[in-house]
Structure 1
Amino acid sequence: MKTKLSKSLMFVSALAFTGIAGAQDSDQPVMVQIKRLSMDTALTIAKTAIDTCREQGVQVAVTVVDRGGHPQVVLRDVLAMDLSLEVSYRKAYTAMTFTSPTSSLEDRFTGPFSVGKVEKVLLSAGGVPIQASGETIGGVGVSGAPSGETDENCAMAGVAAVEMDLEMASF
């Protein structure tokens, strides 16, 4: 029993030592810095999208998700349908996940078992990724306008409102 225990301890020690030595020789950092949107920036994106749609006489819901796809800001205008909340979230999640406006994905996945059938993915215009220096840091989705094109224009206006700030903060 004592021999098995000491052999096991030696094996585990050897693995640990090898792992530590391997980590030191690697080019991988010990810690990774992750850029995230501040709440105020996410709120500016959402509020600008709402205001842009209001100027066109449309009331919508807007969701801004972080880089993990979690809702950071959710706004629904007074007369926007309840369903628009879920749809705006899915558009934001899809835009963030695919790092692409959702309008460019509408015809991409048409098979019966394609990725378009994944639970949170919605391949409908109105979602836009939020990027800083080429890195995706979130997504914004808008829902409730008579067309996905209008939804997407409002989402793009939201991102445009903070685009310069995001680029400057990246340095």
Structure 2
Amino acid sequence: MGRALLILAFVLLPAPSFSQAAATHTVEVLDLQLAMRAALRAIEVCNEAGFQAGASVVDRFGVEQVTLRNNMGGALVAEAARRKAQTAASFNQPTATLEPQEAGGGDAGLGAIPGVVPLGGGLPIVTASGALLGGIGVAGGGGSENEAKCAKAGLDAIADQLK
């Protein structure tokens, strides 16, 4: 009976290595002022290049923090910028890296997932230690390559605060 009790205790009581994970998690959140500064700088750089762009910053979960649009930006630039930012945050990689996967076309690519924009112009926002804070996206900036440059300028504007 002693042995049966020992086996029962082993089965019913979790061992330390099998214990449950923490019930909560702590995450870092990008300050709203920094999000606005990054989005504004991205638009300024696109404006300097002659484009009327939109820029958006989302948190690590894809929730919009700020979206700005040039006064003359098209009706869809803000939405496209937000979706690029969400895509960059969701995949934690530049959206331009997702483009080649779409080259084959068809419904099997990432573009078939609602809300995913596998086009350049979206970048993840990470701390110097590598913690994901969110994403920045730019649209209406003259194509994927230039939009990525504008997004990078936005990140560069806040890089010192992310250390």
Into which bin does the TM-score normalised by the smaller protein fall?
0.7 to 0.9
| Equivalent residue, structure 1, for 2:158 | 162
* SS of residue paired to 2:114: coil
| Equivalent residue, structure 1, for 2:95 | 102
| Alignment match of 2:132 (pick from 132, 136, 139) | 136
Is 1:43 paired with 2:36? yes
Aligned pairs for 1:86-97 (under 5 A) are: 86-97=79-90
Distance change (3 Å), C-alpha of 1:22 and 1:74:
farther
| Equivalent residue, structure 2, for 1:72 | 65
TM-score (norm 2): 0.82
Alpha-carbon deviations, 1:33-89, whole Å to 9, x = none?
110111101001101101111221221001101111011101001111011111111
* Rounded Cα–Cα distance in structure 2 between residues aligned with 1:166 and 1:118: 31
Deviation at 1:27, TM superposition (A): 7.3
* SS of residue paired to 1:162: helix
Deviation at 1:28, TM superposition (A): 3.5
Distance change (3 Å), C-alpha of 1:79 and 1:29:
same
* Rounded Cα–Cα distance in structure 2 between residues aligned with 1:159 and 1:143: 15
Q: Matched residues, percent identical? A: 36
Structure 1 runs, 4 residues or longer, greater than 4 Å off: 21-25
| Equivalent residue, structure 1, for 2:3 | none
Is 1:119 paired with 2:114? yes
Q: Which runs of 5+ in 1 are unaligned?
A: 1-17
AA matched with 2:153: A
* Rounded Cα–Cα distance in structure 1 between residues aligned with 2:100 and 2:113: 15
| Equivalent residue, structure 2, for 1:4 | none
Is 1:148 paired with 2:144? yes
AA matched with 1:38: D
| Alignment match of 1:82 (pick from 75, 93, 111) | 75
Deviation at 1:24, TM superposition (A): 7.6
Q: Report if the CA contact (8 A) 2:56-2:81 is conserved.
A: yes
* SS of residue paired to 2:119: coil
AA matched with 1:66: D
* Rounded Cα–Cα distance in structure 1 between residues aligned with 2:31 and 2:16: 33
